Amino acid sequence: MLKRVTILLVITALVWSCSQNNGDSMSENPFFTEWETPFQTPPFDKIEEAHYLPAYKKGLEEHKKEIDAIINNTEEPTFKNTIEALEKSGALLTKINYVFGAMNSSMTNDNMQAIAKEVYPMLSKHGDEINLNPELFAKVKAVYDKKDELELNKEQEILLDNYYKNFVRGGANLKDAEKEEFKKINEELSVLSLKFGENVLKETNKYYITLDEKDLEGLPESVIEMGASEAKAKGLEGKYVYTIQRTSMYPFLTYSTRRDLREKLYRGYIMKGDNNDELDNKNNASKMAVLRLKRANILGYETHADYVLEENMAKTPDQVMTHLNKLWNAALKKSKQELKEMQAISDAEGNNYKLESWDWWHYAEKLKMQKYSLDEEELRPYFKVENVIDGVFKLSTALWGIQFEERKDIPVYHPDVKVFELKEKDGKHIGILFTDYYPRASKRGGAWMSAFRKQSNRDGNFVTPVIYNVGNFTKPTESTPSLLSVDNVITLYHEFGHAIHGLLSNCTYEALSGTSTPIDFVEFPSQLMENWSMHPDVLKTYAKHYETGEVIPDELIEKIKKSGYHNQGFGYTESIAAALLDMHYHTITEATDIDINKFEKDVLAKIGLIDEIVPRYRTTYFNHIFAGGYSAGYYSYSWANVLDADGYQAFVETGDVLNQELAVKLRKYVLSTGGTDDSMELYKKFRGKAPDANALFTKLGFK
């Protein structure tokens, strides 16, 4: 998942004290000085919690002065003194947002969350004050109205269009009373979103099962060791703990023969935010869906989805639903076939029960063994996390000549974090990549990419990007390194695809650089990267046994290849179910309270989801749409799947999945261009034609 940082999220004047330093001093607050670290990366060894609020206060003041200067400029509005001036404004604020947003996602605590609760409503208010300022909008509109007379290049045209549309979509044309309501809605949404995410994190950290040795039936040694390590970390020496972090839960669900314990752990996961306690998210989700509808209506849109999709490749809810339903019907049919095969295995074992959702991983693994003689535990020893990282680096070298060098002289925010410098083949610096791959209580679940600094090239000053990847992969134990599952490997490649999109950016304006594309295009580079992860030629560069150094044998590679269609019905059914749930929440047309559990149940019944599958995300822990930037946008993963399947097919068709000519085109038209052109046009320039959805159906075995 891509984590988006909103530039106009800005902050408050709350005084925060920590130790004996309140962070106000110009000489002591690192945000107030140029960073002297290598490549001006954040000086994490100097940044303290006490620095954030004073820095935000100053950032707000500076940004307001910069906006006032644009408004008070008596010269005729031009692209330079209005649009470029807006683009340059708020530099300090952006600098703080990137760091604070990252730390509140991966190093949060009560203090950070308290700061966020003060900050985000103020950021929302500040953003609205800019977007709703009639004098500022008048200047932007004056430039926009004469755009045909201006000699602008394509990137400048898009920047101008985006600024104008952002003002209109941000309420600039509203009447005064409507503006006030609009601001209140935005402020309330910012608070609700923050609370929703906090609740999910607390629920994830709160729930786990503690087992004795007698409860470990069926678990392989690596999973037992993982449980013992988790127990030790919680002060439960001699016990075994399994959490609802996916890296802990999925192996347990896969191998445990204790059906009662599988159910107990899985129910803990799917009931996050739905336990009618202080962490319950039903009311938060209901309020957010209704407030988003009200905001869309104020702006003249029928639904929130209409508002969101206008700026995406899909354009309309009908287009999204047509896309999702086509995939849904094929995926559901496939998953029912998978269920039938798994039920037959259970029946043959003499079990007298119908399989349930907590049984799926267990019997999917048995089905894989039966059909392909492939055990996930056979593969893990070849997927040591350091080797997988080395593999994706070597892939980048093979495709684009990029070189990677670990930098131990750059400050990090946690001991698990590693830093790499990327260079061109000729040694020219490209950017910096931080990696942070292990779970901890201070980090939210999932995996994502974002930036500490985005690429730009204003006034001939090329600013190189500082990007980070975050994951929650299996932690090393005292005797075993971090060994990844196939799904983990694919996730790492996915997030690196986002990272390389940000790192290879070559745009003028930060607002358009890197991953600043429509949400249903931004997943294309990341999902395209997944395709290479299991290709035999790539596997042999990194899949090496962590103990012997042996390269993964051809026999296992062949099994991986043959099992490529395995469980795809399930994977797409649970994912599309979540996307359809998202779309139903954001196409409501009545602003009345929603009974969340009834709404969810009714939607899933309407689409025909089978009882044995739970959506990838139930409403109450659907962070993507209620605590992230994917509302009415979760469909984008499957939309981009069409692009990535067709795009990868271009490489396959040449007979060389590392085809240099195509790699150059991919970099030129996709990875370096950000949002500087229409996404479909960029895809066509890379591929030579529009995407063919049949490539995805073939890839998944749905045909």
Same domain assignment for residues 463 and 604:
no
Q: What is the pLDDT of residues 67-89, one digit of tens each?
A: 999 999 999 999 999 999 999 99
Res 614 pLDDT > 70 = yes
* Residue 79 lies inside a defined structural domain of this protein: yes
Same domain assignment for residues 674 and 573:
yes
Q: Which long-range contacts (CB under 8 A, 24 or more apart) does 228-237 make?
A: 228/477, 229/475, 229/477, 229/478, 234/208, 236/210
Which of 495, 510, 530, 612 does the annotation list as catalytic?
495
Res 658 pLDDT > 50 = yes
Res 25 pLDDT > 90 = no
Give the residue with greater pLDDT, 445 vs 306: 306
- How confident is the model over 165-175, as a mean pLDDT? 97
Q: What is the pLDDT of residues 330-343, one digit of tens each?
A: 999 999 999 999 99
- The pLDDT score that the predictor gives to residue 476 is 92
Same domain assignment for residues 481 and 573:
no
* Residue 346 lies inside a defined structural domain of this protein: yes
Same domain assignment for residues 547 and 648:
no
**1 — pLDDT class (breaks 50, 70, 90):** low
Same domain assignment for residues 399 and 529:
yes
* Residue 375 lies inside a defined structural domain of this protein: no
Residue 315's CATH number: 1.10.1370.10
Give the residue with greater pLDDT, 473 vs 10: 473
- The pLDDT score that the predictor gives to residue 459 is 86
How many whole angstroms separate alpha carbon 28 and alpha carbon 43? 12
Same domain assignment for residues 231 and 337:
no
- How confident is the model over 246-269, as a mean pLDDT? 97
Same domain assignment for residues 676 and 619:
yes
Same domain assignment for residues 544 and 405:
yes
- The pLDDT score that the predictor gives to residue 640 is 96
- The pLDDT score that the predictor gives to residue 297 is 98
Same domain assignment for residues 462 and 333:
no
Q: What is the pLDDT of residues 668-697, one digit of tens each?
A: 999 999 999 999 999 999 999 999 999 999
Find the distance separating the first CA and the last CA of the chain, reported in whole Å: 28
Res 20 pLDDT > 90 = no
* Residue 178 lies inside a defined structural domain of this protein: no
- How confident is the model over 636-664, as a mean pLDDT? 97
- 0.85 exceeded by pTM: yes
Of the three residues 497, 528, 552, the one that is the final residue of a domain is 552
Residue 508's CATH number: 1.10.1370.40
**5 — pLDDT class (breaks 50, 70, 90):** very low
**2 — pLDDT class (breaks 50, 70, 90):** low
**458 — pLDDT class (breaks 50, 70, 90):** confident
Residue 415 sits in which domain range?
Answer: 381-552
- How confident is the model over 493-507, as a mean pLDDT? 98
How many whole angstroms separate alpha carbon 357 and alpha carbon 261? 13
Tokens for 458?
């204003």
**515 — pLDDT class (breaks 50, 70, 90):** very high
Same domain assignment for residues 252 and 304:
no
Q: What is the pLDDT of residues 360-412, one digit of tens each?
A: 999 999 999 999 999 989 999 999 999 999 999 999 999 999 999 999 999 99
- How confident is the model over 29-33, as a mean pLDDT? 97
Question: From residue 40, how far is each of 5, 37, 411 by CA, in Å?
Answer: 19, 5, 11
Give the residue with greater pLDDT, 267 vs 3: 267
Residue 169's CATH number: 1.20.1050.40
- The pLDDT score that the predictor gives to residue 703 is 72
Res 21 pLDDT > 60 = no
* Residue 211 lies inside a defined structural domain of this protein: yes
Tokens for 304?
């929130």
Nearest in space to 658 (alpha carbons), one of 532, 523, 525: 532
Average pLDDT, the chain: 95
Task: Determine whether 408 is exposed, middle or buried from the number of CB atoms within 10 Å of its CB (0-12, 13-18, 19+).
Answer: exposed
Alpha-carbon 338 to chain mean position: 29
- The pLDDT score that the predictor gives to residue 192 is 97
Same domain assignment for residues 257 and 301:
no
Of the three residues 236, 270, 304, the one that is the final residue of a domain is 270
User: Is 371:566 a contact under the CB 8 Å cutoff?
Assistant: yes
Does residue 405 carry a catalytic annotation? no
Same domain assignment for residues 169 and 81:
yes
Overall number of domains in the chain: 4
Of the three residues 525, 552, 579, the one that is the final residue of a domain is 552
